[in-house]
Structure 1
């Protein structure tokens, strides 16, 4: 048993298979936690009505909270609505995690070669951060259209204008109404959110390295509890620090922000959203939906990364997609 463990620790998985492992892990997590994502999106978009109506008169209307949003969806739309948008969510998150981990491991490998220490398991913290941001930017341009359709499907209620019957229908209606670049609404705050990946993955790798040194193991031999702690702490830090950009992105992607002949767009760009949220909702407006987001992202990240690490180990143990490190 120990011999096999030592052999496994000397093997390196091809970044392509890192991507596959992450995609499968993400799919497992989404099926369990999708309702929290819908509640988060509804709360993030709930300040819109204030900007489009009540705030113009100087009167602030009440905004729904987590409990009232939950009961509203349950009573008026049914239990199945909590999983609305799960198709594009699985697609978006699976592709996002797969693309992200592929590029993240590729960029880390490039740094190791630059450092002339390709056999090491980790890179310095700042290089891990840069690799995370670069991987996030690569992923954004591929997945932004998928996430935008997913967001709109979760904000829509039955009977709403331009209701999307599915992901393909959403793509078709968006392009017909807003053009191809309509699929890239919210891309600017999404690019700012690439710092999220930099913070999360560099912290995650640093914590894994710490646990490995403490227990005198390879990072590939860490226990599930070590992986759970590292993934939970790193995700909490990244998600909390950059959450306002998620709110801004949701407001920009909301179809109620599309200008028509009868009305202009409520929000005109990232800075305009930030100014209006601060003016009408205060600092707390930037953190609308943070509770269901936290309830979702920490277990989501933990489940995804736990599954990711276990699937990687399976690939390595069966010599699938591995390449021996150069001695």
Structure 2
């Protein structure tokens, strides 16, 4: 909401955003679009980790910092390409008004009818450009932090524990977001501008120019605070579950 609507009101903050959503659509509006988000997150995360593991297998587990970055980037790009239309649906449902769409399928039908198939890939280019540094830095930093802990602090176990994994996941995701956030913001604007702006449909370069000219460099980081606030529970838990599932399924720790 801050990414899309923040430019219209300099006073929009986290508290004001919550109040506005609850006033407009009640408590349920805070979870608008979450069904689509939950549906897409399973294949997205599975493909990302699967692709990353394949690179580890191909290289026989010998990965330096650069190799981790490249393999993480490839994994993220592959996952995002497969699920991107659902990313657009999630954004439209989240920033839309209460009652504008009855659900995910209604949203997809209306987008297809009024904007055509191409609308499902609006913002794909900045998304792909953004996912390369984000996923690359995220997975690379995570593995480096975990490996550093295992090499220097672990005694008889290859399991770092929940607290360490949470810390590694949170720090790695924060680094990735700092590097890629401007592209994520432009992606969201492109996904939503047809329904919010209602004017000319700007491309990636046009939106960058517009944001910088009207809002300055800080405008490229609008909404990053709530993004950071969700890192620990969202990404941290994701990595904890990932590591525990690896052990449960008998995947050998490299």
Name the TM-score, length of structure 2 as normaliser: 0.92
Q: Do the aligned partners of residues 98 and 219 (structure 1) sit closer, same or farther apart at CA in structure 2, a change above 3 Å counting?
A: farther
Task: Please give the alpha-carbon distance, in whole angstroms, between the structure 2 residues aligned to 1:324 and 1:285.
Answer: 42
CA distance in 2: counterparts of 1:323 and 1:311, whole angstroms: 11
Partner in structure 2 of residue 25 of structure 1: none
Map of 1:156 onto structure 2: 96
Match of 1:78 among 5, 18, 26: 26
Contact residue 149 and residue 160 of structure 2 kept, 8 A: yes
Counterpart position of 1:278: 212
Gaps of 5+ in 2: none
Distance 2:38 2:129 in 1: 23
SS of 2:63's equivalent in the other structure is coil
Q: CA, structure 1 residues 323+285, in 2 after alignment: closer, same or farther (shift >3 Å)? A: closer
Contact 1:89-1:147 within 8 A present in 2 as well: yes
Q: Kindly state the Cα deviation for residue 181 of structure 1 after the two structures are TM-superposed.
A: 1.8
Matches within 5 A, 1:67-216: 67-110=15-58, 112=59, 118=60, 120=61, 123-159=63-99, 163-194=100-131, 195-216=133-154
By relative contact order (CA 8 Å, sep 6+), the higher-ranking structure is 1
Cα deviations across residues 208-243 of structure 1 (Å, max 9, x unaligned)? 111111135588422222211211111111112211
Q: Note if contact 1:145-1:184 (Cα within 8 Å) is conserved in structure 2.
A: yes
SS in 2 for 1:252: helix
Partner deviation per Cα, 1:268-321 (whole Å, 9 max, x = no partner) = 2111111100111111111111111111123211011111111221112xxxxx
The residue aligned with 1:268 is: 202
Q: CA deviation at 1:182?
A: 1.3
| RMSD between superposed Cα atoms in Å | 2.2
Structure 2 CA distance for aligned equivalents of residues 295 and 280 of structure 1: 26
Label 1:218 to 1:206 Cα distance change in 2 as closer, same or farther (>3 A).
farther
Question: What are structure 1's unaligned runs of at least 5 residues?
Answer: 1-41, 51-60, 113-117, 317-321
TM-score after normalising by structure 1: 0.72
The number of aligned residues is 253
